[in-house]
Amino acid sequence: MTKFTDMSRQELMQEHELLISRYNTYKDMGLKLDMSRGKPCKEQLDLINGMFDESVLHGDYNCENGTDSRNYGIIDGIPELKRIFAELLDISENELIVSGNSSLNIMHDMISRALLLGVAQNDRPWKEYSSVKFICPSPGYDRHFAICGLYGIKMLPVKMNPDGPDMDAVEKLAVEDASVKGIWCVPQYSNPEGITYSNRVVERLAKMETKANDFRIFWDNAYFVHDLYEEKKERVMNIIKECKAAGNPDRPYVFASTSKITFPGAGVSVIASSKANIDYAKDQIKIQTIGPDKINQLRHARFLKSAQDIYELMRRHAEIIRPKFEAVNSVLTEELAGKGIASWTTPAGGYFMSFSTVEGCAKRIETLAKEAGLVLTPAGATYPYGIDPNDNNIRISPTVPPLDSLKLSMHLFCVCVQIAAAEKLMK
Ligand SMILES: Cc1ncc(COP(=O)(O)O)c(C=O)c1O
């Protein structure tokens, strides 16, 4: 096979013509395909329908400590659910709060309270500083960057290496500038690359010197039990323990949720941190609400039962979505391997794969795909300010489409990639 990069202009033109004719065949099919967001598919949601069975609550609405879940109270979550999360996250029960359905919601609130009130009792609110900056390993989760965008927090992109953020760059930014107040991290099966931070990266994050003494790590462990392969399971180090050992106990805020264990939109979420940070947050949250939806928490605790049962449930999720990740990899390999125009990640867990191509092609691929009926995550969305400096990265979300339409989508995607690359290289 000749690499695109080794082809003459004439050969590229011929290849381009063939690709356009394939592309037009797809276009004539009037497709309506969507791979834009990493959501569970219907079969995954169906695994959880039993949570609404009468037998789950059995007319018994009392939590194990006797609190009636239907009434006000228990600001930090019901004990039986806290115990399950504490075991899964290897954190003590007084270092976490179980909350409503969305961890993104808690991240947003933590940032807005830090801006308005500061991160500890006698700290200055971040809004009183002339500028507030966050380190943003990129590509990353678009909605983290959207929170920074909303509040005018300046985003400092840092490149991602195969074992996590470029720590030389992170340490330099953190130590030099007191307005650098935090970093976004998706440390296990990251969105979008699906990589897990190495122990060395976690240790450096925990130990590094920061000019701001109110620096915080926003540790979004969204994919903490989301393994695709039992035998290739990856686990990120415990940031809370590492920060404690390094003498920086208040540095990390850990977030997780059951959005991709039970239901996005009707699950439960968790924040974990030092006891001091959790107590401080509780004092503020109790002004905001008299208690979370404890009926849903109780339903979750009774339906999910234990950490071990959650791992079993996650194996069933993996059986549904693993073939989709494998299908994406096999179409990419079949269509693009050896052509010198593409590389992609093959994660052992999470919801995403990251695809890189020739510089300056990602937006063109997105447009070509859209015009043929395939919606992709917008090119650039996984970078601060929506700007991918190389315009060459696309997030692939394989979980939602049924296998047949996923394969069709990926063949169309690969045609678009090759058209864009041929056009670029011809110039
Ligand atoms: C890294 C990451 N964090 C958070 C979320 C959203 O979490 P939640 O549904 O708990 O708000 C997602 C959803 O895709 C995600 O990928």
Q: Is residue 70 part of a domain?
A: yes
pLDDT tens digits along 320-338: 999 999 999 999 999 999 9
Q: Which atom of ligand 1 is nearest to the CA of 269?
A: 10
Looking at the structure, tell me whether residues 71 and 210 fall in a common domain: yes
Mark which of 247, 273, 305 sits at the end of a domain. 305
Q: Could you tell me the two tokens for 346? A: 């093959």
Q: Is 108 in the pocket of ligand 1 (CB under 6 A)?
A: no
Q: Which residues contact 8 (CB under 8 A, 6 or more apart)?
A: none
Looking at the structure, tell me whether residues 105 and 219 fall in a common domain: yes
Distance 339 CA to ligand 1 centre (A): 34
Q: Is residue 57 part of a domain?
A: no
Q: Is 156 helix (H, G, I), strand (E, B) or coil?
A: strand
Cα torsion 275, 280, 283, 288: sign: negative
Mean pLDDT of 182-187: 98
Looking at the structure, tell me whether residues 301 and 315 fall in a common domain: no
Q: Is residue 50 part of a domain?
A: no
Distance 255 CA to ligand 1 centre (A): 9
Q: Is residue 276 part of a domain?
A: yes
Bridge-based pairing state of the strands 164-165 and 180-185: unpaired
Counting ligand 1 atoms within 8 A of each CB, the residue from 99, 144, 259, 271 with the most, and so the one to mutate, is: 259
CATH number for 268? 3.40.640.10
Q: Is 257 in the pocket of ligand 1 (CB under 6 A)?
A: yes
Range of the domain at 157: 63-305
Distance 191 CA to ligand 1 centre (A): 9
Q: Which atom of ligand 1 is nearest to the CA of 352?
A: 16
Strand ranges (DSSP E) for 141-257?
154-161, 164-165, 180-185, 216-220, 252-257
Q: Is 120 helix (H, G, I), strand (E, B) or coil?
A: coil
Distance 10 CA to ligand 1 centre (A): 46
pLDDT tens digits along 122-151: 899 999 999 999 999 999 999 999 999 999
Looking at the structure, tell me whether residues 135 and 206 fall in a common domain: yes
Rounded Cα–Cα distance for residues 255 and 272 (Å): 7
Tell me if the bond preceding 139 is cis, omega within 30° of 0.
Answer: yes
| Per-residue pLDDT at 203 | 98
Token look-up 């994050």 returns: 205
- Cβ(65)–Cβ(80) below 8 Å: no
Counting ligand 1 atoms within 8 A of each CB, the residue from 103, 188, 321 with the most, and so the one to mutate, is: 103
Q: Is residue 49 part of a domain?
A: no
Q: What's the Cα-to-Cα distance from 148 to each of 154, 187, 264, 295, 389, rounded to whole Å?
A: 7, 19, 23, 33, 19
Q: Is 255 in the pocket of ligand 1 (CB under 6 A)?
A: no
Q: Which region, left, alpha or beta, applies to residue 394 given φ > 0 means left and ψ of -120 to 50 means alpha?
A: beta
Looking at the structure, tell me whether residues 327 and 285 fall in a common domain: no
Over 80: is that where the pLDDT of 1 sits?
no
Q: Which atom of ligand 1 is nearest to the CA of 186?
A: 1
DSSP string, 102-154: -HHHHHHHHHHHHHHH-SSTTPPPGGGSS--EEEEEES--HHHHHHHHHHTPE
Q: What are phi and psi of 253, to 5 degrees?
A: -115, 120
pLDDT tens digits along 156-175: 999 999 999 999 999 999 99
To the nearest 10°, report the CA torsion of 192, 237, 271, 181.
-70
Looking at the structure, tell me whether residues 259 and 179 fall in a common domain: yes
Rounded Cα–Cα distance for residues 12 and 364 (Å): 17
Percent of the chain with pLDDT over 90: 98
Q: Is 194 in the pocket of ligand 1 (CB under 6 A)?
A: no
Q: Is 352 in the pocket of ligand 1 (CB under 6 A)?
A: no
Looking at the structure, tell me whether residues 282 and 234 fall in a common domain: yes
Percent of the chain with pLDDT over 70: 100
Q: Is 269 in the pocket of ligand 1 (CB under 6 A)?
A: yes
Q: Which residues contact 308 (CB under 8 A, 6 or more apart)?
A: none
Distance 341 CA to ligand 1 centre (A): 31
Mean pLDDT of 367-388: 97
Counting ligand 1 atoms within 8 A of each CB, the residue from 85, 104, 109 with the most, and so the one to mutate, is: 104
Mark which of 271, 305, 339 sits at the end of a domain. 305
Q: Is residue 148 part of a domain?
A: yes
Mark which of 269, 286, 305 sits at the end of a domain. 305
Looking at the structure, tell me whether residues 30 and 99 fall in a common domain: no
Looking at the structure, tell me whether residues 340 and 401 fall in a common domain: yes
Q: Is residue 269 part of a domain?
A: yes
Q: Is 186 in the pocket of ligand 1 (CB under 6 A)?
A: yes
Looking at the structure, tell me whether residues 277 and 176 fall in a common domain: yes
Q: Which of 51-60, 94-103, 118-127, 381-390 has the lowest mean pLDDT?
A: 51-60
CATH number for 363? 3.90.1150.10
Say how many domains are in the chain: 2
Distance 223 CA to ligand 1 centre (A): 9
Rounded Cα–Cα distance for residues 285 and 179 (Å): 26
pLDDT tens digits along 211-267: 999 999 999 999 999 999 999 999 999 999 999 999 999 999 999 999 999 999 999
Q: Is 271 in the pocket of ligand 1 (CB under 6 A)?
A: no
Q: Is 397 in the pocket of ligand 1 (CB under 6 A)?
A: no
Looking at the structure, tell me whether residues 323 and 301 fall in a common domain: no
- Cβ(304)–Cβ(218) below 8 Å: no
Q: Is 221 in the pocket of ligand 1 (CB under 6 A)?
A: no
| Per-residue pLDDT at 216 | 98
Looking at the structure, tell me whether residues 149 and 90 fall in a common domain: yes
Q: Is residue 56 part of a domain?
A: no
